[in-house]
Structure 1
């Protein structure tokens, strides 16, 4: 992917399918076998489409960590991986703040998180701007292993609702 000036890409990646484990703390839920396959397929899709993030921001929950590990096994690359608790419990506003504070000079930032945060943030940042097909995909639900690719021009610290464009939406299945 080539960039001009302040062009940036934000990739919002919902974790893959996790186990339903009554009595187990939510943060400790692990991926199912299907979840591991789907996350690896997402990693392959990211690689095949040239979306290589310089920075990966990941929720510290077990299922999000495992999602990124499986995506990397599938071919996704990330130069640096940071974990931030606000991606687990901070909602869309917390996730937006993490991107603003952490994005730095990176041109491609990928966030591995949870729903409804990922879908709400994708929708709010783009407010209908961008690819019609991508918005239809987003509106149809943002299931596990879904990826939203968002274009943005400007410094990360200025990223705001309505300031970006939805370029792609993809649901990975392995």
Structure 2
């Protein structure tokens, strides 16, 4: 593909997790999370984005979220379980994106807050429609996702370089 073609990043926060007596990395999804993850997957399928690559945190709740959501997609992208996504700051997530191969056009990252909301806000230099307003109103709740678009090679992705084109959270009608 040409680096002039738009690329998309879907930033997907894991679904609602339970709080059992386990370390944070091992926390599983709660019942609500097991219901919301496939709904998010169906909404992502409806968006028409054909994902080339999924970067998933190694945490139990993100792996479970992705396992449930990806079943709703028309095709399953290659999935890489990336330790650096767990507890990543916006800058650390951008560094991971900067390493992506230019053959990958549309990428999803399944991660955590505050990194998910932070990287979305840092990368979005502009927004389409009411996506930014909906994100600001709802916050990056569990099972929500944002879609960012930009043009250029992955290594050139930097703060403000993308446009927020969509935001969805459970309960959203869009």
Q: TM-score, normalised by structure 2?
A: 0.91
Say what the alpha-carbon RMSD is for the aligned residues: 1.7
Separation in structure 1 between the aligned mates of residue 8 and residue 77 of structure 2, nearest angstrom: 15
2:117 aligned partner:
119
- Residue 46 of structure 1 contacts residue 76 of structure 1 at CA under 8 Å; is this kept in 2? no
- Residue 43 of structure 1 contacts residue 76 of structure 1 at CA under 8 Å; is this kept in 2? no
Q: TM-score, normalised by structure 1?
A: 0.91
Deviation at 1:20, TM superposition (A): 1.4
- Residue 6 of structure 1 contacts residue 155 of structure 1 at CA under 8 Å; is this kept in 2? no
- Count of matched residue positions in the alignment of Structure 1 and Structure 2: 169
Q: SS where residue 60 of structure 1 aligns? A: coil
Q: Trace 1:68-147 onto structure 2 (pairs within 5 A).
A: 68-75=66-73, 77-127=75-125, 129-140=126-137, 141-147=139-145
Deviation at 1:132, TM superposition (A): 4.3
Separation in structure 2 between the aligned mates of residue 103 and residue 92 of structure 1, nearest angstrom: 20
For structure 1, list consecutive stretches of 5 or more residues without a partner in the other structure: none
Q: SS where residue 98 of structure 2 aligns? A: helix
Go from structure 1 to structure 2 and tell me whether the alpha carbon gap of 1:12 and 1:103 turns closer, same or farther (over 3 Å shift): farther
Deviation at 1:93, TM superposition (A): 1.1
1:160 aligned partner:
158
Separation in structure 1 between the aligned mates of residue 44 and residue 11 of structure 2, nearest angstrom: 12
